[in-house]
Amino acid sequence: MLVLWQRLPAQVRLVPAPLAAVALATAVTWAAGLDVAHVAVHGLGDAIDLPGLNDLASFSGPVLGTVVTFALIASAETLFSAAAVDRMHDGPRTHYDKELLAQGVGNMLCGLLGALPMTAVIVRSSANVRAGARTTLSRVLHGAWLLVFVVALPAAVGVIPLPALAGVLVHAGCKLIPFREFAPLWREHRGELVILATTAVGILATSMFEGVLFGILLAVVKSAWETSKVQVDVRELTDGRILARLTGNATFLRLPRIMETLEALPKDRPIELDLSELRHLDHACRTALENWAAGHNDVGTEPVRLREAAVR
pLDDT of residue 21: 92
- Beta pairing partners, 231: 247
pLDDT of residue 37: 92
pLDDT of residue 309: 60
Digit-by-digit pLDDT tens for the chain (312 residues) are 998 988 889 888 888 888 899 999 999 999 998 889 988 877 666 677 777 777 766 666 677 878 888 888 888 888 888 888 888 888 788 888 988 999 999 988 888 888 888 888 877 787 788 778 888 788 888 888 888 887 877 778 888 999 998 998 888 878 777 788 888 888 888 888 888 889 889 988 988 778 888 888 898 888 888 787 889 999 998 888 899 999 988 888 888 889 999 999 998 889 999 998 888 888 888 889 988 988 888 888 888 888 876 554
Where does CATH 3.30.750.24 sit in the chain?
A: 230-307
Fold of 230-307: Transcription Regulator spoIIAA (3.30.750)
pLDDT of residue 312: 47
pLDDT of residue 90: 81
pLDDT of residue 164: 93
pTM: 0.59
| Distance (Å, whole) CA 209 – CA 193 | 20
**DSSP letter string over the chain?**
-TTTGGGS-TTGGGS-HHHHHHHHHHHHHHHHT----B-----HHHH-----HHHHHT--HHHHHHHHHHHHHHHHHHHHHHHHHHTT-SSPPP-HHHHHHHHHHHHHHHHHHTPPP----HHHHHHHHHTT--STHHHHHHHHHHHHHHHH-HHHHHTSBHHHHHHHHHHHHHHTS-GGGHHHHHHH-HHHHHHHHHHHHHHHHT-HHHHHHHHHHHHHHHHHHHHT-EEEEEEE-TTS-EEEEEEEEE-GGGHHHHHHHHHTS-SSS-EEEE-TTEEEE-HHHHHHHHHHHHHSSPTTSPPPEEE--S--
CA-to-CA separations, 118 to 74, 152, 181, 187, 311, in angstroms, rounded? 8, 22, 30, 37, 43
